[in-house]
Structure 1
Amino acid sequence: MRTYDVAPLFRSSVGFDRLLDLLSQAERVEPSAAWPPYNIEKVAEDEYRITMAVAGFKPEDIELTQHDTTLLVTGQRKGQDGEHQYLHRGIAARTFRQTFNLAEHVKVTGASLENGLLAVDLKREVPEALKPRRITIGGAQGAVGQDNKPVQIEGEANAA
């Protein structure tokens, strides 16, 4: 396995601490973190879906928790395995704990369990106050706020 030294990035960047921490953590991923298998897909411009293969689990066996930018998915079967005598057990029934690091302003909008696949829908909703805004230069000192009007450059209106 290749290892990457991200120390030079720490020295030359400001405000990317979380991203660089994620890169460092990626090197230390445990093999058990790959179970259950999952897909992450982009559904629309600001919408995503995580699909996990959780065959044998019921909705009440799975718990989803979002805390800030972390989504925690845990599963623990509460079935009556003592009643069955298995000759071969190929469907895993072990408990799992999967953590997903989400970008800022990404929220879980829904979850469903169908045909052994858990689908978690996510949407990025940036608050209006944090969206990019145009800032006017000079002039009135009382002008505070956002100005997103088209700019009319003098001389261009007469040239057209």
Structure 2
Amino acid sequence: AIESGRIKLDCEDYDLCGLIRDVIEEFLLITKKENKEIVYHSLAENCRVYGDPARIRQVVVNLISNAVKYTNDNGVVEVTLKNQENDVVFIVADNGPGIEPEEQEKIFEPYHRAKLKKTKKEGTGLGLPIVKEILELHGGKITLEESTMQGSVFLCLIPRRCYVGSKN
């Protein structure tokens, strides 16, 4: 079970760019209906990574889902993928209400629901802790960055090779 810290990774070689494109495509119906847009920038020439595609897919779905949920109508969710030496950087930015500064440290704790500026959206409070755990199991990490626009910017480092069980 995820909560008990016993996520098992099933690592293989896969195309991260393709995985992200597929997930974005799954959200097109929702975003169109809600007058929102997902803009995808892939600056990564090489998207081959060795990791658990099902678990990384969970990360991508969770972050894009949150961004779409909290983005204002007629808003834009930006998804960016770029290369670093040993990692692929995956960034999801939205123009939603943003997260109060005093809440930002707590959002990766299980069952914590951040007090968001002007929103009454529902959720379990488990999504971001699961995302964090999956990335750490791969030897990666997630951070909440300062946003230049309103909203939230989540930055994930996904190692090109998963080091099973290594926590940062």
Q: Looking at secondary structure, tell me which structure has more helix per residue.
A: 2
Q: Looking at secondary structure, tell me which structure has more strand per residue.
A: 1
TM-score bracket, normalised by the shorter chain, equals 0.3 to 0.5
- TM-score under structure 1 normalisation? 0.37
- TM-score under structure 2 normalisation? 0.35
Question: Which protein, 1 or 2, shows the higher relative CO under an 8 Å CA cutoff with sep ≥ 6?
Answer: 2
Name the larger-Rg structure. 1
